Amino acid sequence: MILRGLSPALCWLVLLAACQGGGISADDDDSWGTDDDDSSAVDDDDSAELCVPCDGDLDYGAGDDFGALLRCQSLTGDLSFRDAGATLVSLPVLSCLERVDGDLRIRGNEGLQSLAGLESLTTVGGDLNISFNASLVDLSGLRRLQWISGGLFVSANPQLSALHLDSLAEVGADLSLTRNGSLVSLAGLDSLMSVGGDIRISENNVLTSLSALGGLIVAPEDLSVQDNVALTSLEGLQNLSSVGRDLDVSGNAALVDLSGLSAVARVGGDMRFMSNPLLEHLDGMEMLAEVVSTLTVSSSESLTRVDGLLSITASLEGLRIHSNSALCQSHAEAIAEQLNVQLEVSVYDNLGGCP
């Protein structure tokens, strides 16, 4: 503002009125202030919040500065938070980050308790690997994640008790949930409709239910449910119509029946039921018509009959029924004779009493 031809007193009054009326400010937000937050980029709070695409890989460990990541809306490469030990307690708030085109790895961070900060992420173009995080209790920071083009690997997180992947609809490759010692259920995977690779659920010592997997219709590769010592049933797989390769249900100490497999009509590879000590029969698979390779039933000490296999009408490459201490040998042999087996038939060491 330039004032000419006025007395000093009048100039003072004009300036005072302008200041009191908001006309001049040392930190002005209008179009002509020297420290403008709207039209100037010099000190613009709006421009500081802009989200931008980022290129390459970003790998963070103990003590690293996250500055380069904070404004990334997308990342063309891999993003890793790994091997930070106890020093990484929380992730940065990545409110811009919506997409990682490569792998997202969160591994070996003993102090990390949650994934808060990743709430804007919707897409991972590679694998998502969350492993060996000793203090991690849930994955709720990823509740908006919808698509993983690669595999989902959640392994060896001993305090992980909940998944909370509530929006996840598709995993393009393997789904692997292993050695998570506090994981009671798979709640949070209820929106999952498709897995493109192997499904592996193993060594989760307190897992009691697979009920969240009801959206899966096909397992295109291997399906393994192994060594989950508290799992009592396979309910949750009841809509699964086929397994592309091997089906392995073994080492589940509390499993009492196979009724969760009621819709499976075809297994494209081997089928194995081994070391399930409370399994008394193989009922519940009435739709099963074809096992392409070898069928094995073994080492299940409560098993007393195997006539649940008689729904299989297509030929088998091999059949092995052995080492079942409560199963009558002659009963097992009679069932084997009714099945169409092309190559190997091995029925032995079934030591139960016969009627």
287: left (phi over 0), alpha (psi -120 to 50) or beta: alpha
Res 45 pLDDT > 60: no
For the chain, residues classed under CATH 3.80.20 are: 46-192, 198-355
117: left (phi over 0), alpha (psi -120 to 50) or beta: left
What confidence score (pLDDT) does residue 48 get? 47
**Cβ contact 257:231 at 8 Å:** no
What confidence score (pLDDT) does residue 20 get? 44
pLDDT tens for each residue of 95-137: 999 999 999 999 999 999 999 999 999 999 999 999 999 999 9
Q: How far from 273 is each of 252, 257, 292, 299, 328, CA to CA, in Å?
A: 10, 11, 15, 9, 17
pLDDT tens for each residue of 306-345: 999 999 999 999 999 999 999 999 999 999 999 999 999 9
What confidence score (pLDDT) does residue 40 get? 38
CATH match of 46-192 with 3.30.70: no
For the ranges 36-40, 226-230, 307-311, the lowest mean pLDDT is seen at: 36-40
Res 237 pLDDT > 50: yes
User: How far apart, in Å, do the first and last CA atoms of the chain sit?
Assistant: 109
The four Cα atoms 113, 117, 122, 126 give a dihedral, to 10 degrees, of -60
Which tokens sit at 351? 């030591």
SS (H, E, C) the chain: CCCCCCCHHHHHHHHHHHHHCCCCCCCCCCCCCCCCCCCCCCCCHHHHCCCEEECCCEEECCCCCCHHHCCEEEECCCEEEECCCCCCCCCCCCCCCCEECCCEEEECCCCCCCCCCCCCCCEECCCEEEECCCCCCECHHHCCCCEECCCEEEECCCCCCECCCCCCCEECCCEEEECCCCCCCCCCCCCCCEECCCEEEECCCCCCCCHHHCCCCEECCCEEEECCCCCCCCCCCCCCCEECCCEEEECCCCCCCCHHHCCCCEECCCEEEECCCCCCCCCCCCCCCEECCEEEEECCCCCCCCHHHHHCCCCEEEEEEECCCCCEHHHHHHHHHHCCEEEEEEEECCEECCC
**Cβ contact 166:139 at 8 Å:** no
CA distance 197 to 218: 10
Q: In Å, how far from its chain's centre is CA 39?
A: 45
Name the pLDDT band for 303 (thresholds 50, 70, 90): very high
Quick count: other Cβ atoms within 10 Å of Cβ 55? 11
What is the arithmetic mean of pLDDT over 197-214?
98
What is the arithmetic mean of pLDDT over 28-33?
39
Name the pLDDT band for 64 (thresholds 50, 70, 90): confident
What confidence score (pLDDT) does residue 330 get? 97
What confidence score (pLDDT) does residue 85 get? 86
The pTM is what? Answer: 0.85
What is the arithmetic mean of pLDDT over 171-187?
98
CATH architecture of 198-355: Alpha-Beta Horseshoe (3.80)
Res 240 pLDDT > 80: yes
What confidence score (pLDDT) does residue 73 get? 98
CA distance 272 to 255: 14
Which tokens sit at 299? 């080492």
What confidence score (pLDDT) does residue 331 get? 98
**Cβ contact 115:106 at 8 Å:** yes
Res 209 pLDDT > 70: yes
Res 25 pLDDT > 60: no
What confidence score (pLDDT) does residue 49 get? 65
Average per-residue pLDDT in the chain?
89
Locate tokens 């997180």: which residue?
Answer: 157
Residues near 77 by Cβ (< 8 Å), separated by ≥ 6? 55, 56, 57, 58, 101, 102
